[in-house]
Structure formats: structure tokens, C-alpha cells
């Protein structure tokens, strides 16, 4: 069986690459060992958002009186139904990918793939049967999995990863979340909102450490206000799962303490799925477990490409999709520009949400820029106050010399829908003057972007 392009992995990098290749007239096969859509659609981005929506609705109902609405005081939920809805959403999206494969005449081959020299792929099906495929171009999009720490081995019951957190049979009364990146704080928010007693343990000095420091401080205040206990500069050095409760030994700045909980969620990041897929045999270069690629996602061996979580950079679904399109268009001979990795937005869907793009204030200063910084609080934004979502702010960072928009950082209700303005503006090399003179609709939360820019240049009206 011979193809123009074989894609290994059907996550948001792989299936998008396959579709774009088919649109360009290529004969395409995609190899997937599990569900179409990969981790993102089935066990990551999509089902977590479904859980978070249920938590948001529950939170709204419990605060209905704040909006002048009287509801019974005994509002409850069925945890199993919440999880079931989430799984249903994931299943629907996976079936959507199945439809797109058929629509674009992409051959889907179920099985575990291993690349071979000579641009070949060996596929081992679930029944043990083996087939060999050949192609002029092979795209590796095998994604990543939950990272396991030596001191925190996952047993799938009392110590779990993100997959376990998505499909628990019953809601735990208490939970320790190890790690405060996007996965950690999203699950901490979800379970805390439904009534689980949650403790976050973070090794670094602050939570969501990749974000601007002001964002981290605001989120920590918000999470603590909601009842979540947060231990920074702390490390889980061991767990005892022999009893009814897990006993986690935690090394803190003040000394060692033991915390008990029904379950421990390990949310310390992911590791790329690059083992046992034939990289060494083919001679493809790797660095710290990730595949080395050039500006067009080609590996060190001609004809073999890699995208998504298996290559260097942020582990983000939208970045994987962009890489998939880029490398396929490059293969097809299209004129393409390398991806600007400095303009990839990041979003975290806890409450309040976080969205950011570009340099933080500290990074801009470290890079030698003289900066102008502006902030606008949602407490001064009419739409945010009317929505009952006045927590948070928009922060912008500009180069004082030339007016380049270096970074935009937001925390608040719905900011993940707002960040696109900053991404597009930065792509178009828009200046602060152009943002200030672009009339923003009123009342909208997006006005806060314009007002933050105005604040950076001393033109703020509403603060």
C-alpha cells in the first residue's frame, strides 16, 4: 500500500495535516492506535471543557440570588451524569473526525505504527496482524502522555493522571493536585467547585509559572478565595496508599508535613510519545526526548516530518494544527512562512480564565527592552460588572522605543475568547496608536484591551 503522505497519529496535529494534504490532492493514510481525534478530543482539551462548563453552571445556580433570581437552596448534581456528559461530548467530536476522514477520502488504518527506513511504516493491528505501508512523506504526530514522577507512581485508583481525573466513578471528598500548570489548576477548579476539598502542591515559587507574575498572583488570590489550599515551594516526596486515604509526604519551605486525601492527581506535565516508534533505527535526531525539526517541521532524515507534542515548543493543540498545515503545504510545494513561535497564544480554562501571548513584563525587560506597561481591571468594565465577573484584568507590554506590542496577558471571565485580538494585531505589527483608535463596541469585555493600551500611554479614561 503506497501513499503520498502517511500521518501517524490522529490528534489535532495529525488529522488536520491529513485533511489539508487531501485538500491539496494527495493520497493520504492516517494510522491511529486508539480513538480518532487523539488525546485532545478524547482525553484532554474537549472533555475537560465539558466538565468545566458543568462546574460553571453549578456555580451560577448557587449564586442565582446575586442576579435577583430565587432558587431552592438544595441545588445538587449527579457526578456520574457530569462525567457522562463530558464523555458524550468527546465521543461526538471523535465521530466528527471520522466523518471528516470519509469526506476527504483519507484511509484510516487502526494499529500501532513504527517507522522504517526507506520511507516505510509497519502497522501492528490489535489482533497482531502486521502490514507495511510506503510513502514519499511520513508525518509523525504521536502526541504525549502524562508524566510520572518517581515519588508519585500512578496506580490509576488513588494516584491518577489526567485521564483518571476525567472519568472517575465517584467524586472524591478530598484531592491533592500536584502541579499548577493548566491541567492542574483546571482540575483543581472543577473539583473544588463541586465541593471536593482541594490542595495544590507546586514545586516552583508561584502557580502557573509560565504566565506573567501579576497573572499568577491574581489567580492564586482567586483560587484561595474559592477555598483551594495552595502550597508553593513544595514537593511531594512520597505517597502511602496502603490505607483508605492516601498519605502524601510533602517537603515545604517550613519543613515536612503529611496531608491525607482520597486521591492524588499528578499534573506535572506530559512526556512525548517518541519511544519505540523507530526513530533510532531510521536515524532521526532527538534532543531531550523530542524530535529535532527545521522551520518546516522536517526531521534530520529527508521525507520524515514531525509535529505537535513530539517536537520542541509548547504542547498546544492549536500549535500542532498549525505545524500540520505548514509541513503539508511545504511538502506540496506551496510558498509558506515559518511559524512565529513567539505569537502562539496560551489559554487556561480555570475560573477566572487565563489567556496570554508574547513576552511577559519580566521577559521583555530581560531581553533588553524599555517597556511601557498598561493594566485595566475588569472591576472598571461595565460588561464585566453586569456579568458578575469583575475579577481580573488585562495587562499589555509595549516596546517604549518603537511601539511594538510585546505581550498581552489577561485573567478574567471569558478572556480565552478575547486573546485573538492581540494575536492578530501582533501578526499585523499593529501599534498602540492603532489599537487606541480602533473603536471597540460598548459594553464589551474586549474594551478592556483598548483601555489597557490607553493606560500604557497615559490616555486611560475609566481608571
Task: List pLDDT tens digits, range 414-431.
Answer: 999 999 999 999 999 999
Span 19-45, average pLDDT:
95
In a domain, 341, yes or no: no
Q: Reply yes or no on whether the pLDDT at 392 is more than 90.
A: yes
CATH number of the domain that 403 lies in? 3.30.390.30
Range of the domain at 29: 5-145+271-332
End-to-end CA distance of the chain: 66
203 with 298, same domain: the answer is: no
33 with 135, same domain: the answer is: yes
pLDDT at 1: 84
Residue 190 confidence class, pLDDT cut points 50, 70, 90:
very high
Instruction: Give the whole-angstrom CA distance, residue 409 versus residue 395.
Output: 5
In a domain, 22, yes or no: yes
133 with 91, same domain: the answer is: yes
Q: Reply yes or no on whether the pLDDT at 73 is more than 90.
A: no
Show which of 268, 303, 319 is a domain's final residue.
268
Residue 372 confidence class, pLDDT cut points 50, 70, 90:
very high
Instruction: Give the whole-angstrom CA distance, residue 371 versus residue 409.
Output: 15
Residues annotated within the binding site for FAD are: 49, 309
328 contacts 136 by C-beta, under 8 angstroms = no
Which residues are catalytic, by number? 442
Q: How many CA atoms lie within 13 A of 344 on its CB side?
A: 16
Show which of 243, 268, 293 is a domain's final residue.
268
What is 54-88 written as a DSSP string? HHHHHHHHHTGGGGT----TT----HHHHHHHHHH
pTM equals 0.95
For the chain, the C-alpha Rg in angstroms (whole number) is: 24
Instruction: Give the whole-angstrom CA distance, residue 435 versus residue 111.
Output: 50
Residue 74 confidence class, pLDDT cut points 50, 70, 90:
confident
In a domain, 344, yes or no: no
75 with 118, same domain: the answer is: yes
47 with 129, same domain: the answer is: yes
Residues annotated within the binding site for NAD(+) are: 179-186, 202, 269
127 with 17, same domain: the answer is: yes
Give burial (CB, 10 Å; 0-12/13-18/19+) of 115: buried
Instruction: Please state which of the ranges 72-76, 113-117, 228-232, 364-368 shows the lowest mean pLDDT.
Output: 72-76
**Residues with Cβ < 8 Å from 377, sequence gap 6 or more?**
390, 392, 393, 448, 463
254 with 300, same domain: the answer is: no
In a domain, 343, yes or no: no
In a domain, 264, yes or no: yes
184 with 264, same domain: the answer is: yes
In a domain, 337, yes or no: no
In a domain, 340, yes or no: no
457 contacts 397 by C-beta, under 8 angstroms = no
Task: List pLDDT tens digits, range 444-463.
Answer: 999 999 999 999 999 999 99
Residue 191 confidence class, pLDDT cut points 50, 70, 90:
very high
Whether omega for the bond prior to residue 352 falls within 30 degrees of 0, making it cis, is: yes
Q: Reply yes or no on whether the pLDDT at 57 is more than 90.
A: yes
Instruction: Give the whole-angstrom CA distance, residue 342 versus residue 180.
Output: 23
Instruction: Give the whole-angstrom CA distance, residue 200 versus residue 209.
Output: 14
190 with 258, same domain: the answer is: yes
Instruction: Give the whole-angstrom CA distance, residue 109 versus residue 1.
Output: 11
CATH number of the domain that 249 lies in? 3.50.50.60
What is the domain count for the chain? 3
130 with 16, same domain: the answer is: yes
Q: Reply yes or no on whether the pLDDT at 263 is more than 90.
A: yes
Alpha helices in 157-198 (DSSP H): 162-166, 182-193
Instruction: Give the whole-angstrom CA distance, residue 443 versus residue 462.
Output: 13
Residue 58 confidence class, pLDDT cut points 50, 70, 90:
very high
Percent of the chain with pLDDT over 90: 97
Show which of 240, 268, 296 is a domain's final residue.
268
357 with 406, same domain: the answer is: yes
Residue 355 confidence class, pLDDT cut points 50, 70, 90:
very high
Residue 224 confidence class, pLDDT cut points 50, 70, 90:
very high
Task: List pLDDT tens digits, range 136-155.
Answer: 999 999 999 999 999 999 99
**Which grid coordinates are listed for 246?**
492516601
300 contacts 284 by C-beta, under 8 angstroms = yes
- 336 three-class SS: coil
396 with 370, same domain: the answer is: yes
pLDDT at 78: 95
In a domain, 345, yes or no: no
Helices (H) and strands (E) in the chain, counts: 14, 24
- 311 three-class SS: strand
Residue 412 confidence class, pLDDT cut points 50, 70, 90:
very high
Q: Reply yes or no on whether the pLDDT at 261 is more than 90.
A: yes
Amino acid at each position: 500500500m503506497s501513499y503520498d503522505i502517511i500521518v501517524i497519529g490522529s490528534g489535532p496535529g495529525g488529522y488536520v495535516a491529513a485533511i489539508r494534504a487531501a485538500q491539496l490532492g494527495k493520497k493520504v493514510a492516517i494510522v491511529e492506535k486508539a480513538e480518532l481525534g487523539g488525546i485532545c478530543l478524547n482525553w484532554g482539551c474537549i472533555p475537560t471543557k465539558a466538565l468545566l462548563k458543568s462546574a460553571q453552571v453549578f456555580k451560577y445556580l448557587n449564586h442565582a440570588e446575586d442576579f435577583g433570581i430565587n432558587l431552592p437552596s438544595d441545588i445538587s448534581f449527579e457526578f456520574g451524569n457530569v462525567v457522562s456528559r463530558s464523555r458524550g461530548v468527546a465521543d461526538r467530536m471523535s465521530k466528527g473526525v471520522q466523518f471528516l476522514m470519509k469526506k476527504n477520502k483519507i484511509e484510516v488504518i487502526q494499529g500501532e505504527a513504527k517507522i522504517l527506513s526507506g520511507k516505510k511504516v509497519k502497522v501492528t493491528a490489535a489482533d497482531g496482524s502486521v502490514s507495511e505501508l510506503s510513502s514519499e512523506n511520513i508525518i509523525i504526530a504521536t502526541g504525549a502522555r502524562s508524566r510520572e514522577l518517581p515519588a508519585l507512581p500512578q496506580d490509576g485508583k488513588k494516584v491518577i493522571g489526567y485521564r483518571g481525573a476525567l472519568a472517575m466513578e465517584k467524586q472524591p471528598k478530598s484531592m491533592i493536585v500536584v502541579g499548577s500548570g493548566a491541567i492542574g489548576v483546571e482540575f483543581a477548579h472543577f473539583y473544588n467547585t463541586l465541593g471536593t476539598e482541594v490542595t495544590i502542591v507546586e514545586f516552583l515559587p508561584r502557580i502557573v509559572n509560565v504566565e506573567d507574575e501579576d497573572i499568577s498572583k491574581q489567580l492564586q488570590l482567586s483560587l484561595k478565595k474559592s477555598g483551594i489550599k495552595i502550597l508553593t515551594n513544595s514537593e511531594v516526596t512520597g505517597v502511602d496508599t496502603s490505607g483508605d486515604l492516601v498519605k502524601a509526604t510533602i517537603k515545604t519551605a517550613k519543613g515536612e508535613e503529611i496531608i491525607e486525601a482520597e486521591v492524588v492527581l499528578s499534573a506535572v506535565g506530559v512526556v512525548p510519545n517518541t519511544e519505540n516508534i523507530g526513530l533510532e533505527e531510521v536515524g532521526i535526531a532527538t534532543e531531550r526526548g523530542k524530535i529535532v525539526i527545521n522551520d518546516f517541521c522536517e526531521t534530520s532524515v529527508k521525507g520524515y516530518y514531525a509535529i505537535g507534542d513530539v517536537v520542541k515548543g509548547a504542547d498546544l493543540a492549536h500549535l500542532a494544527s498549525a505545524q500540520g498545515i505548514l509541513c503539508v503545504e511545504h511538502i506540496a510545494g506551496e510558498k509558506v512562512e515559518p511559524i512565529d513561535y513567539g505569537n502562539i497564544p496560551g489559554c487556561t480554562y480555570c475560573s477566572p480564565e487565563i489567556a496570554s501571548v508574547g513576552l511577559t513584563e519580566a521577559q521583555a525587560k530581560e531581553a533588553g527592552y524599555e517597556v511601557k506597561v498598561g493594566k485595566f481591571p475588569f472591576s472598571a468594565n461595565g460588561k464585566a460588572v453586569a456579568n458578575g465577573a469583575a475579577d481580573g484584568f488585562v495587562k499589555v507590554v509595549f516596546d517604549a522605543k518603537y511601539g511594538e506590542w510585546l505581550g498581552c496577558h489577561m485573567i478574567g471571565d471569558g478572556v480565552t475568547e478575547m486573546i485573538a485580538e492581540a494575536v492578530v494585531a501582533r501578526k499585523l505589527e499593529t501599534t498602540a496608536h492603532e489599537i487606541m483608535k480602533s473603536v471597540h463596541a460598548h459594553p464589551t469585555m474586549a474594551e478592556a484591551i483598548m483601555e489597557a493600551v490607553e493606560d500604557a500611554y497615559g490616555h486611560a479614561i475609566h481608571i
